[in-house]
Structure 1
């Protein structure tokens, strides 16, 4: 099973936090998989592994659909361009909703088109908050 890693060097059975949670439910597939591995390696200890996160990766946790619309309204000063961009956003939302993944597709479109201006906006906002504090 790919969710279980048996490490003979450290004598551990390594599993993710999510797998361990599922394995704690009696009768689940994960429960029986872990039980099988433990019975084959009774001296090994079970260790929860954590996935290393890339600290340099840029995330956009506050980028909601509302924030996208507000940013477009702020950046697109020409009324015709603003209407065109908002219409395109709604079309992409409709298209992506039909595919079952609204947010990732819309976010990708938004960042392809407005990444630089949005990053500058976030940077300016952060600097203003630091000055106010």
Structure 2
């Protein structure tokens, strides 16, 4: 049984890979649903369902342009995701810092070791 679309927040909305693909496409410029559907290899109704979810959580905005509805990225809705991910930045920075220290120690140890070839 298919699970219902989750529209409660940005985290749930971007959990679906196709929605993330839509956001990537909308980073460049506004696009009509037909273009998005074509570029993603899905039907227009499928793309419209994903856009509805993204719109409901504030990640996508819609603008009327003549007979077309143009969809655009509203990255402000990604702020909670950015803030949450940013909390891991310190962890990764410290981890990479420790790794760099370890690599430097290994290099220093290798430079201090005598070559075995010198004994022959």
Q: What TM-score, normalized to structure 1?
A: 0.26
